A and B are shown apart, each in its own frame.
Chain A
Amino acid sequence: MRWFWVSLIGLVLLSVEVGSLANLRPFGGGPDLVLLFVIFLSLYGPADDAPISGWLLGLAKDCLSSGTFGLHAVIFMAVAFLLSRVRADIFLEYAKAHVVNAGSATLVAYLAAGLWRWFDGAAAAGTPGFVIGVTLWNALLAPAAFRVFFKFSRRLEAVRRRSS
């Protein structure tokens, strides 16, 4: 049942991204809601399921983009794997921690995507701007997005770690 909710929320976020955020791309890049969801699942959900969740949501994003098929699947899976491995050593409470965690994870993911596009010969002149734009948007939206995702924490089996 957990995977059903992961898929459903992922599809809703993807619809919002393709529907409204594609039309609003201020400062080069808008927020990546699907990546925010992947980061949330990696930090607060079952650690063993994080890579699979990242792959699933990344693949859905690939199906709705015109870039290299499988790129987001691999990158999201890698980001989810890394976050699930280091989450015991990082601070997960408070909004500031959400901003830092989401911002750094997004920067890593989009730097990898930008590097791939550069090697693939499809890099645009504004690629660094896109990377910075998405990173800033994700970092700023992370506290609000995580608050919404926590509403589904029981269905997603997400556990907020209490600060000691």
Chain B
Amino acid sequence: MRANKGRAVKQAVSVFLLVATLSVHLLPAKALQYPRWLMLDAVGAPAAPIYITTAAVTSFLSAPFSGGASRQDLEKRIVSLTSDLARKQSEIARLKSALALYADFKYLPDRQPFLVYGANIAGHVIGGDADVFSRSYVISAGSREGIQRGLPVVYGNVAIGVTSDVGAFNSRVRILGDPRSRICVRFARSGIEGVLAGTGRSTSAVRFIPNTASDLDIAPGDLVVTSGTDGIFPPDVAVGTVTRFVRRHAEPDADVEVELLADFSRIENCLVLKRTVSSKR
């Protein structure tokens, strides 16, 4: 009798938990973030040494087999420096135009906000994603350091991803290869814009390219950079290079496959670009 009662209670608890889990999506999205933030901080600390040790061992064991990558490393370095130069030139132009606007319109009552990237936050990669279908990192920086959701994350001058969950001490970065990742990009040579969508692998696909009703000037080897139009990444941050371009016959879209520049298996540190909106002129 007592055993039957105990079994009935456990079955009732199981049903309740199932219904509660299915109903949790009726809650506001923000409510679902709290348990994730708590677990990020709780598991981040013990997982960190395991991840760092494994990453070091993996790099050491794979070093003899990566002799052919030195040329690629040099090429990637050249690409990142070129992108850096383009980004700095773009930043100079933007600041000059901002200065000109200030000089011309400083007496207007309405203020135009400017996006200023400064006081970036460094983070150490301490873990990965528990879900095999997703691609994300856990980094050792959280809201205590000023990190918020939706901030861009870079490795050197190469885009990595965007912060998604933020705990007090650790944060999750959804990397560009994640199937849910979407950022606005631009082909550096032709200026054509599109949206980069993750595929779960080291290559991503550029989609939603506006139909120009003419041949798209895209070729394998073209550099893909951020366009800055999504308000997440600053413009001209290197993303990847085109590896495959197939124009579908009589259709406006094209299949554009992009090899991401960041080697996600070797990233140990990253930089979170802190976005500040300044209303001052």
Whether a CB of chain A sits under 8 angstroms from the CB of B271 is no
Whether a CB of chain A sits under 8 angstroms from the CB of B21 is yes
B residues 12-34 near A (Cβ < 8 Å) are 13-14, 17-18, 21-22, 24-25, 32
Q: Closest CB-CB distance, A113 to chain B, in whole Å? A: 7
Whether a CB of chain B sits under 8 angstroms from the CB of A144 is no
Cβ contact within 8 Å between A67 and B134: yes
Collect the chain B residues with CB atoms within 8 Å of residue A77's CB: 14, 17-18, 21
Collect the chain A residues with CB atoms within 8 Å of residue B134's CB: 65-67
Cβ contact within 8 Å between A52 and B10: yes
Cβ contact within 8 Å between A52 and B133: no
Whether a CB of chain A sits under 8 angstroms from the CB of B164 is yes
Cβ contact within 8 Å between A11 and B43: yes
CA distance A100 to B218 in the complex (A): 49
Partner of A25, one of B25, B53, B132: B132
Query: Closest B-chain residue to A32, C-beta based?
Result: B132
Collect the chain A residues with CB atoms within 8 Å of residue B156's CB: none
Partner of B24, one of A11, A64, A69, A72: A69
Query: Closest A-chain residue to B197, C-beta based?
Result: A124
Given the interface contacts A19-B50, A55-B14, does A74 sit within 8 Å of B200 by beta carbon? no
Whether a CB of chain B sits under 8 angstroms from the CB of A16 is yes
Q: Closest CB-CB distance, A25 to chain B, in whole Å? A: 7
Cβ contact within 8 Å between B54 and A18: no
Given the interface contacts A22-B127, A23-B128, A126-B199, does A15 sit within 8 Å of B46 by beta carbon? yes
Q: Closest CB-CB distance, B147 to chain A, in whole Å? A: 16
B residues 35-60 near A (Cβ < 8 Å) are 35-36, 38-40, 42-43, 46-51, 53-55, 58
Whether a CB of chain A sits under 8 angstroms from the CB of B226 is no
Cβ contact within 8 Å between A122 and B179: yes
Q: Closest CB-CB distance, A64 to chain B, in whole Å? A: 4
Collect the chain A residues with CB atoms within 8 Å of residue B111's CB: none
Q: Closest CB-CB distance, A60 to chain B, in whole Å? A: 7
Number of chain A residues close to chain B: CB under 8 A: 50
Whether a CB of chain A sits under 8 angstroms from the CB of B131 is yes
Collect the chain B residues with CB atoms within 8 Å of residue A17's CB: 130
Whether a CB of chain A sits under 8 angstroms from the CB of B138 is yes
Query: Closest B-chain residue to A134, C-beta based?
Result: B132
Whether a CB of chain B sits under 8 angstroms from the CB of A73 is yes
Collect the chain B residues with CB atoms within 8 Å of residue A74's CB: 18, 21-22
Cβ contact within 8 Å between B200 and A125: yes
Counting chain A CB atoms within 10 Å of each CB, the highest count among B14, B38, B165 belongs to B14
Cβ contact within 8 Å between A22 and B128: yes
CA distance A122 to B197 in the complex (A): 10
Collect the chain A residues with CB atoms within 8 Å of residue B118's CB: none
Partner of A52, one of B14, B39, B126, B136: B14
- A selection of 14 A-B contacts at a CB cut-off of 8 Å is A15-B50, A16-B50, A18-B47, A55-B18, A59-B35, A60-B39, A65-B130, A65-B134, A66-B134, A66-B165, A69-B35, A70-B24, A125-B199, A125-B200
Given contacts A20-B53, A74-B18, 13 further A-B contacts (CB under 8 A): A15-B43, A18-B47, A22-B129, A23-B58, A48-B10, A48-B11, A51-B14, A52-B14, A55-B21, A66-B178, A117-B133, A122-B180, A124-B179
